[in-house]
Homo-oligomer: A and B are copies of this chain.
Amino acid sequence: MREREPDVTAPAAVAGPVTEIVRVAGAHVPQLLARVEERLAELATGHGPVLAEYAGATIAAGGKRLRPLLVFLAAGGSGDHDSAGLVRAGVAVELIHSATLVHDDVLDAAPLRRGVPTVVAQGGRRAATATGDLLFARAFAELAANDRADEVRILSDASSALAEGELLQRADAWDTTISLPRYLLRCELKTARLFQAACQLGALEAGADAGAVEMLGAFGRRIGLAFQILDDVLDVSGPVARTGKHRGTDLLDGTITLPFILARQRDPRLAAIDPRAISAPLDAERVCDRIEASGALEAARAQALDMVTAAKGHLPAELDDRQRAALTLVANGVVARYA
């Protein structure tokens, strides 16, 4: 399943790190984030009452705005760039993210997202599919105003990757033989590429050279991989009070993730399980317990930590201390969120 946004505890879980990031990176960051919120609210209400009704609540209900934050921190500085361009880039990546969430909710027939009724619950599948398409289209309209074809290409490649990741996940559903590289490819497509794009867009808008753009992109990509792995761990570990859903939804969904892949190597009884036979939430919880008992969660967390360490290694040498500290905090925050 795509990275989820725990309804209840996510804001609290990131509030600490975000405050810290802002302290380190400077006051322009919350100002830019506030402008993203304003613009998202404008877009939600500027396309007719139907969109406002359906998408307004979803967009306004927020989320961590981690992708816009990456745009701004990758840009660095202290608000001395063309900030309109940065805000547009931040809005664009958040809109793409929102579009995929709306489409995910259609497919999952999910009743709630970020604590508010989903578009599909409010308006039905047809309205929700169209709403996702509209958010998608608005992302490109927003970014087009930056007048940079390279930025549009980065965003469209990241959007293609998201869709390809979803297709790959469907193609691999229930297949317990999928390899670790195949799993990582899916994480890359579904999650890491948009993180990468966020960092690249920020760096480009700040006028960074090609090398720095590439390295900041590589940083974002690694952070995204770690983020997805830890999200997959959370699906097994819970707690339910934090995630707002049963443990093992990936198992029920046929999505084979790193914890299950690693646990099957460690526990022959898990290796013998056909995930298609797991049909009830309670069965899934029992399998989660076994996965946890195998030590696979620690092993998966360790892989995510390695990714974060590798991410920090991609930070270009020329960053100033402030920018380096802020990006390092985000990297650590991804881990802390799941600690």
Q: Which residues of A contact B (CB under 8 A)?
A: 47-51, 54, 99-100, 103, 106-107, 123-127, 129-134, 136-138, 140-141, 143-149, 152-153, 155-157, 159-160, 162-164, 166-168, 170-171
Q: Residue A164 contacts which of B48, B106, B132 (CB distance < 8 angstroms)?
A: B48
B-chain residues with CB within 8 Å of residue A48 when the two chains form the complex: 164, 167-168
Q: How far is the CA of A136 from the CA of B170 in the complex (A)?
A: 19
Most buried by B among A54, A137, A143: A137
Question: A133, B103: Cβ atoms under 8 Å?
Answer: yes
Q: How far is the CA of A164 from the CA of B133 in the complex (A)?
A: 9
Question: A152, B131: Cβ atoms under 8 Å?
Answer: no
Question: A129, B107: Cβ atoms under 8 Å?
Answer: yes
From A43, which residue of chain B is reached at the shortest CB distance? B160
Known pairs A132-B133, A136-B163, A144-B156 / 14 extra A-B pairs, C-beta < 8 Å: A50-B167, A100-B133, A107-B129, A127-B166, A127-B167, A130-B166, A134-B163, A134-B164, A136-B137, A137-B156, A141-B156, A141-B160, A149-B152, A152-B152
Q: Residue A170 contacts which of B127, B156, B163 (CB distance < 8 angstroms)?
A: B127
- Given A123-B170, A149-B146, A164-B47: A156 touches B140 (CB 8 Å cut-off): yes
Q: What is the minimal beta-carbon distance from A250 to any residue of chain B, in angstroms?
A: 14
Question: A136, B136: Cβ atoms under 8 Å?
Answer: yes
- Given A129-B103, A133-B163: A140 touches B168 (CB 8 Å cut-off): no
B-chain residues with CB within 8 Å of residue A155 when the two chains form the complex: 140
From A48, which residue of chain B is reached at the shortest CB distance? B164
Q: How far is the CA of A152 from the CA of B139 in the complex (A)?
A: 11
Q: Residue A51 contacts which of B50, B124, B127, B164 (CB distance < 8 angstroms)?
A: B164
This chain: copies in complex: 2
Q: What is the minimal beta-carbon distance from A67 to any residue of chain B, in angstroms?
A: 16
B-chain residues with CB within 8 Å of residue A47 when the two chains form the complex: 160, 164
Q: Residue A167 contacts which of B130, B143, B170 (CB distance < 8 angstroms)?
A: B130
- Given A50-B170, A54-B167, A167-B51: A152 touches B140 (CB 8 Å cut-off): yes
Q: How far is the CA of A152 from the CA of B88 in the complex (A)?
A: 15
Q: Residue A152 contacts which of B99, B125, B144 (CB distance < 8 angstroms)?
A: B144
Question: B159, A140: Cβ atoms under 8 Å?
Answer: yes
Q: Residue A125 contacts which of B107, B127, B133 (CB distance < 8 angstroms)?
A: B107
Question: A145, B140: Cβ atoms under 8 Å?
Answer: no
Q: How far is the CA of A304 from the CA of B100 in the complex (A)?
A: 37
Q: How far is the CA of A167 from the CA of B149 in the complex (A)?
A: 30
Q: Residue A159 contacts which of B103, B107, B137, B149 (CB distance < 8 angstroms)?
A: B137
